């Protein structure tokens, strides 16, 4: 597999490289930052049908690339991310660049500041190519419910999948990216950017990561700053990292982590924990397989990949055993109650007064609020707000909200017990199956789909733990399957090391192997 | 500041019949209906920046000029707790003998209003930073209103919370104008238990609280500027029976109005019940409608007892609040000040009460004491009765008093030495305009008329001092001789 990559490099397909590789190419003068940026922008235009981007920041990107170029020429090098094109989910505030959350409410919103994680990337010299598409306000697991339309999975147009559909020319059976950070997943795997930021509240980065065939990291809660991330659920949100390799994810994590005074929920990572290593010895590893994760609806192929990885690890000397996380069955409902309550609270600020969509209705302030919010939010958002208000009513608070908090604690303790009983990481599926076709996916409503799809991913959010999805194989439909590792808090480095070990041995192909030359 | 304190002078003792009757009811007969008064007080914290953001706290700034992204509720912004505000709340709590909760929490209280940009206020609903305190306060009672009556009121709790912005309704143009300068300013909400029974007590308690807050520097306490806002919960009952239905008296911007409004409400309820009507609570607060939710972006607020209890990794860290240091650093509280005055100057308690109660009066008094050999006990009446009385009559604060401490000292020296009579001295102290022109003039005129040449010289000296040496001495002498002949 590494041989494949180098061959492509000599063929000049810079865009399929990892950050590590392309960064080296920049420093070696094999390509210039401006050329690289132009290639990405060109490819964005070429892959417009994917609808991965809400805003393409062409002018800004070229300007940043120029600056990177002059730095390079002067030998003043910011770091490994200098000159690297990146994309950001459209719920991260970017100064003077439209930030919409794929909602009518914020469709013309220009934030006056950059989110901390965006600023950190810019400070490293990375080049922002655009803001990626998503489900409205990050509510959804398909990236199908934003006001700018659904995102299409790049693998829909790659040979393996197209061959399945009998080589039909029509477009109707394209598959979804998953969500809610679908645009970020598509951006990285359609080769228009080398890394993308997503957000992960119940699996919103890992889900599209798995369905699009990317490495998707959900860091430990509190490791990355949420300042500037327009929140869904403050107590669960984390910025997510989407890359093409585990080493890339480790590089980006290193840049982004750290205490931010502007975010009181951040902490400095304890230095005692091991960092990322490309030479992890799995003989020292104990892998837990949670029995409750044999969920209904789990596809045969995903189950097969799960077994495959477990065997791979065991064969190399790791201890693999079954564990129990007994409260798993309650996690979806628990997540739903807490999510809706926080949504109701977080969305209260959208009244059209200081910013955002304001209705022309002006008979009274209350009427203006109601109209603005009704016009600005889609049905999914409105539904969750109403549910959340219900759960927060004085007479319901104890029975729903408080109860859910208590159940949340039990779920977190399930993980603690497993880890303190000698398990180092947990191995689970990321999604139930490979990507569904859009036409199939939309047959059920958003709430139903989220309930089904989030089952493997949201417990890690409830517990604040790090989790990573690694692509392992293409399904029989020619679409990516990803598997998930969950680790103890602040062991993100170790988690990525294990993910790296797996990545080296599964031979997941790059999409550039199947490039359709002319679209 | 401090113009609202209960008056002591005769001229301001315009107690209406109503107030007198109610004052009597405070020391009531058991089978009569009496008032029950509790207070909810919002004190604006005196700090440079707001409770959760770095924008400056200021007054009379241009609209929307002191508003950070967080204050405007821009999406993606997060609260960052201001350490000074925590210290202010803790110091206030210590001064009021509260129990400090070593761990307290922040919550969101939701309601929609134009001056609340986020749609919720960050407050402390589950557990406040301090509970179970006590405020001792005094009234001057008795028929001559010169007897100290000491009372206490329990402080239920002190919590930190955000202030809202201001809205101005422009009915002509059917619009509402919003100014967010005040949005997010730190407030201490103090709840006083219903241990008071009439407006006078409530006003006295508020006055004492003002003095405490001002001494601590945690709140400037000016009611008319909205730095101290008092809402009263008022009900009536027969002593021994259960409490009646509460109503709220809100939007009070002076202690005097507070007292009257409370007494009016008590009277209204008594009369209503007397007619067989029920007391209705019409101003229901938003509590039952709005949801509360823990504020997920702020960890629990932890306050440490002493340096020894601070975890090793946090010692020296910026955000750490330690009680020991704050306790030691508390300034002299009003009650201590009063006791000290009694001791140092041999005053009666009611005198020191008045001195501390009036802003600047204690400093004035002490300045007079310095400039005269007269005993403080003999000076006090002049200051607390004569001077203060006339200040009240002219609606002047001590800081605007046209008679300087040294002038008064001078005057009293003359009176002591017999050069002027008490009547004349009192006249001077009455501050009537003609006298204000030249303080010592009429005093010395009489003396001069009695042929005292020394006085002429002294008068010359005083005139030169008053005119800062700009007067022509020959002219002055001839004028004086003319005036006094």
* pLDDT per residue as tens digits for the range A70-83: 999 998 988 999 99
| Spatial strand order in the sheet of B120-123 | B120-123, B107-110, B292-294
Residues in chain B: 485
Q: Do A264 and B79 touch (CB under 8 A)?
A: yes
Q: Do A348 and B120 touch (CB under 8 A)?
A: yes
Please identify which of the residues A180, A184, A190, A331 carries the catalytic annotation: A180
pLDDT in tens, A102-161: 999 999 999 999 999 999 999 999 999 999 999 999 999 999 999 999 999 999 999 999
CA A94 centroid distance within chain:
18
Instruction: Find the CB nearest B108 among A231, A345, A389.
Output: A345
CA of B263 vs chain A CAs: smallest distance (Å)? 34
Judge whether A180 counts as a catalytic residue: yes
Instruction: Find the CB nearest A265 among B77, B293, B299.
Output: B299
Q: Provide the pLDDT for residue A1.
A: 38
CA of B232 vs chain A CAs: smallest distance (Å)? 25
Q: Do A349 and B79 touch (CB under 8 A)?
A: no
CA of B307 vs chain A CAs: smallest distance (Å)? 22
Q: Provide the pLDDT for residue B382.
A: 86
pLDDT in tens, B189-201: 999 999 999 999 9
Per mean pLDDT, which range of A265-274, A306-315, A329-338, A461-470 is the poorest?
A265-274
Q: Do B76 and A265 touch (CB under 8 A)?
A: no
Instruction: Find the CB nearest B76 among A230, A235, A369.
Output: A230
Judge whether A204 counts as a catalytic residue: yes
Q: Provide the pLDDT for residue B25.
A: 53
Q: Provide the pLDDT for residue B283.
A: 65
Q: Provide the pLDDT for residue B15.
A: 45
Do A146 and A154 touch, CB atoms closer than 8 A?
Answer: no
Q: What is the DSSP letter of A355?
A: S
Model ipTM value: 0.94
Candidates A264, A341, A401, partner chain B, best to mutate (most B CBs within 10 A): A264
Q: Provide the pLDDT for residue B413.
A: 82
Residues from A in contact with B at Cβ < 8 Å: 92-93, 101, 106, 109, 111-113, 115, 226-231, 233-235, 261-265, 341-342, 344-345, 347-351, 353-355, 362, 365-366, 369, 389, 392-394, 397, 401
B181 neighbourhood in chain A, CB within 8 Å: none
Candidates A105, A222, A262, partner chain B, best to mutate (most B CBs within 10 A): A262
Per mean pLDDT, which range of B59-63, B228-232, B468-472 is the poorest?
B468-472
Do B239 and B30 touch, CB atoms closer than 8 A?
Answer: yes
Q: Provide the pLDDT for residue A171.
A: 73
CA of B294 vs chain A CAs: smallest distance (Å)? 10
Instruction: Find the CB nearest A261 among B72, B80, B117.
Output: B80
Q: Do A106 and B288 touch (CB under 8 A)?
A: no
pLDDT in tens, A35-64: 999 999 999 999 999 999 999 999 999 999
Q: Could you tell me the pLDDT band of residue B11, with boundaries at 50, 70 and 90?
A: very low
Q: Provide the pLDDT for residue B388.
A: 87
Sequence-ordered list of residues with C-beta below 8 angstroms from that of A55, at least 6 positions apart, any chain:
A90, A97, A98, A100, A130, A131
Q: Which residue has the higher pLDDT, B60 or A416?
A: A416
Instruction: Find the CB nearest A264 among B108, B292, B299.
Output: B299
Instruction: Find the CB nearest B291 among A229, A366, A392.
Output: A392
Q: Do B291 and A351 touch (CB under 8 A)?
A: no
pLDDT in tens, B103-127: 999 999 999 888 999 999 999 999 9
Kindly state the tokens that stand for B156: 């239920």
Average pLDDT, chain B: 85
CA A476 centroid distance within chain:
24
CA distances from B259 to B145, B212, B221, B421 (A): 17, 20, 17, 40
Q: What is the DSSP letter of B163?
A: P
Per-residue burial over B310-336, b if 16 or more Cβ lie within 10 Å, else e, is: beeeeeeeeeebbbeebeeeeeebbbe
B174 neighbourhood in chain A, CB within 8 Å: 362
pLDDT in tens, A165-180: 765 556 779 999 999 9
Q: Could you tell me the pLDDT band of residue B459, with boundaries at 50, 70 and 90?
A: low
Nearest residue in B to A113, CA atom? B69
Do B230 and B252 touch, CB atoms closer than 8 A?
Answer: yes
Average pLDDT over residues B370-383: 87
Q: Which residue has the higher pLDDT, A252 or B433?
A: A252
Q: Do A113 and B298 touch (CB under 8 A)?
A: no
CA A328 – CA A486 distance, rounded (Å):
14
CATH ID of A32-273+281-292+303-325+414-507, from 3.30.70.890, 3.90.1300.10, 3.40.630.40, 3.40.50.300: 3.90.1300.10
Kindly state the tokens that stand for B481: 């001789």
């Amino acid at each position: 597999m590494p041989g494949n990559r180098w061959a492509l490099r000599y063929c000049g397909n810079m865009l399929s490289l990892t950050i590590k590789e392309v960064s080296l190419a920049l420093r070696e003068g094999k390509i210039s930052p401006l050329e690289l940026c132009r290639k990405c922008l060109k490819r964005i235009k070429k892959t417009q049908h994917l609808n991965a981007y809400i805003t393409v920041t062409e002018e800004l990107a070229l300007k940043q690339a120029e600056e990177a170029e002059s730095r390079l020429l002067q030998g003043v090098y910011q770091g490994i991310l200098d000159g690297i094109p990146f994309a950001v989910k459209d719920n991260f505030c970017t100064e003077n660049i439209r930030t919409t959350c794929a909602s009518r409410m914020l469709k013309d919103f220009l934030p006056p500041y950059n989110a901390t994680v965006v600023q950190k990337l810019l400070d490293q010299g990375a080049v922002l190519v655009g803001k990626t598409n998503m489900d409205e306000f990050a509510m959804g697991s398909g990236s199908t419910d934003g006001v700018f339309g659904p995102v299409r999975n790049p693998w829909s147009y790659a040979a393996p999948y197209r061959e399945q559909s009998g080589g039909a020319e029509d477009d109707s059976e394209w598959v979804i990216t998953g969500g809610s950070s679908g645009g970020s997943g598509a951006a990285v795997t359609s080769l228009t950017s080398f890394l993308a930021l997503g957000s992960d509240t119940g699996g919103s980065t890992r889900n599209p990561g798995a369905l699009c065939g990317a490495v998707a990291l959900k860091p430990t809660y509190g490791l990355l700053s949420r300042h500037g991330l327009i929140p869904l659920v403050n107590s669960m949100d984390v910025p997510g990292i989407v890359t093409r390799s585990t080493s890339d994810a480790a590089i980006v994590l290193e840049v982004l982590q750290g205490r931010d005074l502007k975010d009181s929920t951040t902490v400095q990572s304890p230095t005692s924990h091991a960092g990322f290593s490309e030479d992890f010895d799995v003989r020292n590893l104990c892998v837990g397989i949670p029995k409750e994760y044999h969920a209904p609806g789990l596809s045969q192929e995903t189950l097969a990949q799960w077994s495959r990885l477990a065997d791979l690890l065991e064969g190399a000397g790791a201890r693999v055993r079954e564990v129990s996380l007994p409260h798993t069955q309650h996690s979806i409902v628990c997540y739903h109650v807490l999510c809706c309550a926080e949504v109701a609270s977080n969305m209260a600020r959208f009244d059209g007064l200081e910013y955002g969509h304001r209705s022309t209705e002006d008979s009274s302030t209350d009427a203006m609020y109601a109209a603005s919010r009704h016009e600005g939010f889609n049905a999914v958002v409105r539904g969750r707000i109403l549910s959340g208000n219900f759960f927060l009513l004085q007479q319901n608070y104890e029975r729903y909200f408080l109860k859910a908090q208590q159940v949340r604690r039990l779920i977190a303790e399930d993980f603690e017990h497993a880890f303190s009983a000698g398990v180092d990481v947990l191995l689970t599926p990321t999604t139930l199956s490979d990507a569904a076709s859009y036409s199939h996916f939309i047959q059920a409503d958003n709430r139903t789909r989220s309930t089904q799809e989030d089952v493997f991913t949201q417990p890690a959010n409830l517990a604040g733990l790090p989790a990573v999805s690694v692509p392992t194989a293409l399904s029989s439909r020619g679409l990516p399957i990803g598997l998930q590792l969950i680790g103890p808090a602040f062991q993100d480095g170790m988690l990525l090391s294990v993910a790296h070990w797996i990545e080296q041995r599964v031979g997941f192909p790059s999409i550039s192997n199947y490039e359709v030359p002319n679209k | 500041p401090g113009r609202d304190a209960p008056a002591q002078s005769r001229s301001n003792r315009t107690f209406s019949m109503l107030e007198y009757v109610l004052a009597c009811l405070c020391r009531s007969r058991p089978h009569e209906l009496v008032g029950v008064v509790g207070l909810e007080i919002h004190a604006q914290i005196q700090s440079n920046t707001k409770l959760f953001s770095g924008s400056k706290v200021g007054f009379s700034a241009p609209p929307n000029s002191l508003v950070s992204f967080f204050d405007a509720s821009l999406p993606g912004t997060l609260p960052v707790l201001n350490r000074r505000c925590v210290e202010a709340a803790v110091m206030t709590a210590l001064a009021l003998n509260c129990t400090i909760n070593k761990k307290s929490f922040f919550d969101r209280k939701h309601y929609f209003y134009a001056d609340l940009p986020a749609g919720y206020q960050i407050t402390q609903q589950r557990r406040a930073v301090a509970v179970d305190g006590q405020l001792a306060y005094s009234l001057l009672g008795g028929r001559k209103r010169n007897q100290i009556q000491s009372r206490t009121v329990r402080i239920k709790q002190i919590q930190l919370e955000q202030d809202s912005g201001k809205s101005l309704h422009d009915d002509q143009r059917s619009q509402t104008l919003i100014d967010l300068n005040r949005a997010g300013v730190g407030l201490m909400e103090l709840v006083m238990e219903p241990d008071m029974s009439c407006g006078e007590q409530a006003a006295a308690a508020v006055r004492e609280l003002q003095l405490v807050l001002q001494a601590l520097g945690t709140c400037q306490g000016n009611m008319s500027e909205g730095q101290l806002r008092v809402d009263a919960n008022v009900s009536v009952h027969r002593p021994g029976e259960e409490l009646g239905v509460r109503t709220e008296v809100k939007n009070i911007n002076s202690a005097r109005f507070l007292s009257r409004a409370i007494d009016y409400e008590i009277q209204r309820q008594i009369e209503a019940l007397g007619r067989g009507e029920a007391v209705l609570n019409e101003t229901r607060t938003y509590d039952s409608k709005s949801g509360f939710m823990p504020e997920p972006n702020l960890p629990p607020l932890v306050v440490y007892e002493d340096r020894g209890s601070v975890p090793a990794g946090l010692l020296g860290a910026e955000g750490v609040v330690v009680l020991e240091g704050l306790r030691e650093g508390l300034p002299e509280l009003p009650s201590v000040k009063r006791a000290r005055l009694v001791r140092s100057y041999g005053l009666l308690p009611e005198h020191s009460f008045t001195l501390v109660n009036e802003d600047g009066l204690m400093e004035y008094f002490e300045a007079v004491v310095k400039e005269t050999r007269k005993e403080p006990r003999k000076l006090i009446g002049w200051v607390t009765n004569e001077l203060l009385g006339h200040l009240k009559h002219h609606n002047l604060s001590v800081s605007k008093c046209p008679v300087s401490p040294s002038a008064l000292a001078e005057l009293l020296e003359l009176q002591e030495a017999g050069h002027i009579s008490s009547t004349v001295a009192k006249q001077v102290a009455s501050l009537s305009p003609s006298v204000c022109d030249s303080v010592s003039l009429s005093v010395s005129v009489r003396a001069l008329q009695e042929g005292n040449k020394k006085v002429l010289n002294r008068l010359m000296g005083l005139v030169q001092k008053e005119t800062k040496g700009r007067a022509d001495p020959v002219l002055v002498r001839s004028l004086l001789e003319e005036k006094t002949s």
